[in-house]
Amino acid sequence: MLFWILVATLTAAVAAVLLLPLLRAAASAEAPQSHDVEVYRDQLDELKRDEKNGLISGDEANFARAEVARRLLAATDAVKAAAPAQPVRRSNRLAQLAVIVILPAIGLCLYLRTGNPDVPDAPLAARLANPGDDMNILIARAEQQLVSNPEDGAGWDVLAPIYYRSGRLEQAATAFRNALRILGATPARLGGYAESLIALSGGLVTNEARDALQKLLAIEPTDPRAQFYLALALKQEGKGTEALAAFEQIVRTSPAGAPWLPLINEHIADLKVPAAGQQAGTPLGNPTSEDITAANDMSTGDRTAMIEGMVGSLAEKLKTDPKNFEGWMRIIRSYAVLGQKDKAGDALKQSLAVFPADGDEGKQLLVLAGELGLKADGGVE
């Protein structure tokens, strides 16, 4: 019942706002000569009183009365001439009727068709108790439970990948770390934790991420994700020969048509044919081993500044070498990590112009865009 009272109150308020200018228009539509008629009639009455009280003579009163009567007739004729204004007032009344009756009726019909007036009120506590398919409520409920029970490993385990897909990388790393501490190591937790750390560092495979990946391989020796990032770590350190052997090993052990093979082949080609002025194993835009060592000891602000500098350098290099698929993947993710979703969207749009969406590289770009909340046209979801 309270809902309908609120609807009626809001409807009345909106109708009043819409009616106010219409009422003013109706008042202004009256002929101004109608006021003159009233004035002249008052003047005739005043002349009678003055003549009766002896303030003016009979001749003066007759003369003045004749003049006022003449003006009264002229004003009366002007009022009659303004009679065509009636249709204006009639249309004004129709507009008022539409505001009072028709618009509320249309709104009510639309709500009854698309809404659900029988659903009871659902305060926050009730929504948390019965979240349905609302992902935000599910997250809020899990977070609420973790506040009261921070040792709930299952809660951290559920939230960690959701945080990662939502771009909340610091929270994802914390959630994966807590799930590992409470529930123990699994390939999914170790891989997610490592990827969160790598994303937080703008694509740098830090020592902590490497330790997690090595533990993952101890459990699952053929995990291609761990093999890839460990090979990438060798490449970032400038160990070209070892990185090339690691990438080629992934190709040999992967099934034909595996979706990660195009990216692996990009790295292999980059290591076999280094760019002019580069040493083998130091690809475009990749950090040095000194960069990685320094990143491990940096504060969040210093690491962000470092990432911004590297991203700017990589952006310049991509202008001269737009076929660097790995560079596009790294710069899109780096922009997202820095919170610069507009730049990430622009980079995605530019990369899809080089690597069409129907190709293997384009499909990987679209998968990355989905993880980061980006649209294929460069917008933000």
pLDDT in tens, 364-373: 888 778 777 7
Residue 203 makes CB contacts below 8 A (sequence gap 6+) with 330, 333, 334
267 against 117, higher pLDDT = 267
Residue 233 makes CB contacts below 8 A (sequence gap 6+) with 205, 210, 292
The answer as to whether 183 is a domain residue is no
pTM of the predicted model as reported, rounded to 2 decimal places = 0.47
pLDDT in tens, 171-203: 999 999 999 999 999 999 999 999 999 888 878
The answer as to whether 229 is a domain residue is no
The answer as to whether 338 is a domain residue is yes
Distance CA 170, CA 300 (A): 10
Q: Please, which pLDDT band fits residue 280 given cuts at 50, 70 and 90? A: very low
pLDDT > 80? residue 284:
no
CATH number for position 326: 1.25.40
pLDDT of residue 275: 41
Distance CA 124, CA 117 (A): 19
158 against 22, higher pLDDT = 158
Whole-number average pLDDT of the chain? 76
pLDDT of residue 176: 95
Q: Point out the domain boundary residue: 69, 98, 114.
A: 114
Q: What average pLDDT score do residues 213-217 get?
A: 95
The answer as to whether 258 is a domain residue is no
The answer as to whether 141 is a domain residue is no
Cβ neighbours of 213 (radius 10 Å): 27
- Position 370, amino acid: G
Q: Please, which pLDDT band fits residue 279 given cuts at 50, 70 and 90? A: very low
pLDDT in tens, 79-121: 666 655 445 455 666 776 676 777 777 777 777 676 666 555 5
Containing structural domain, residue 106: 2-114
User: Percentage of the chain with pLDDT > 70?
Assistant: 70
The answer as to whether 342 is a domain residue is yes
The answer as to whether 135 is a domain residue is no
Residue 226, token pair as written in the block: 């761990």
CA distance readout (Å), 253 to 33, 224, 247, 265, 365: 98, 9, 10, 14, 24
Contact of 376 with 366, CB cutoff 8 Å: yes
Q: Tell me how many domains the chain contains.
A: 2
Sign of CA dihedral 266, 268, 271, 273: negative
